[in-house]
Amino acid sequence: MTQAEYAGPRLRAMMTQSWRDVAFVHWPVPVEQYAARIPQGLELDTHQGRAWVSVVALSIAQIRLPILGRIPIMPAFPELNLRTYVRRGTRRGVYFFRIEATNRLAVATARMLFHAPYHRVPMTMTVGAPTNITTNVAAPTIARYTSTMQPIDVTTDPLAAFLTARTCMFCDYSNGSKILRCDIEHGPWDLRGAAVDIEAHSLFAGAGLQQPDTEPIAYWARETATRIAWPRRG
């Protein structure tokens, strides 16, 4: 996979962001269980016959609208999301079951523009060794991520590329009868292997899913610059 293929097509950005201190936690899951949870018009994407579900924790910073220049429009905030991997025609992207974030404006904007399943949830994200993420809800998320600093080359690791080299997200609206696509552009992740200790996780319960009981695969990345296009039908 070349860097150009990884980054996807060049796009006209509606918004730019910096994604920082990104922790990926991935589990293989039964295809039949998750195929029933994605909307019509999307196909569950698989790697070597297995579907995957992931929790991604990150800090979103330097949020800018190109039309307004280089001044960030809101402060950085932490986010947790629960996603799986889908395709529509030749486009391979992600589909979110649930996204939690602290910023009220960001949550409202994402729900309005992308019809994404965003929820405002108080949480803290402390970056260090390890990184700690805690959400303050009735069924809390308490997780600790520690990078092992073992580099992972997504150009030669097919599974890492499958799980992280995604160039769009899909959302459903009108009760699942219409599909919205948002193209995303970023450079290759500077991935490191990671260890994760999850004491509790609210995302699966909040999405009506059962958390897998198998050992996950975890990655860590320090930062990547991201360009996000206007959402479109299909």
Distances (CA, A) of 77 to 50, 66, 167, 180: 33, 20, 22, 25
> Hey, what domains does the chain have and what are their CATH numbers?
13-233 (2.40.400.10)
Q: 169-172: which pairs have CB atoms within 8 A and are 24 or more residues apart?
A: 169/93, 169/94, 169/95, 169/96, 169/114, 169/116, 170/42, 170/86, 170/88, 170/93, 170/94, 170/95, 171/95, 171/96, 171/114, 171/115, 171/116, 171/117, 171/231, 172/39, 172/41, 172/42, 172/115
Query: What pLDDT score does 6 carry?
Result: 43
Q: How far apart are CA 12 and CA 64, in angstroms?
A: 13
CB contact at 8 A, 146 and 114: no
Element (H, E) at 206: helix 202-206
* Least confident piece of the model among 50-54, 142-146, 191-195: 142-146
Query: Tokens 């025609």 — which residue?
Result: 89
Phi, psi of 140, deg, nearest 5: -75, 155
pLDDT in tens, 153-181: 888 899 999 999 999 999 987 665 689 99
Query: What pLDDT score does 145 carry?
Result: 67
* Least confident piece of the model among 74-78, 82-86, 146-150, 222-226: 146-150
pLDDT at 3 over 50: no
Bridge pairing between strands 168-173 and 142-152: unpaired
pLDDT at 194 over 60: yes
Give the DSSP letter of residue 66: G
* Least confident piece of the model among 101-105, 125-129, 188-192: 125-129
pLDDT at 189 over 80: yes
pTM score: 0.88
pLDDT in tens, 10-54: 678 889 999 998 989 999 999 999 999 999 899 999 999 999 999
Query: What pLDDT score does 2 carry?
Result: 39
Query: What pLDDT score does 175 carry?
Result: 61
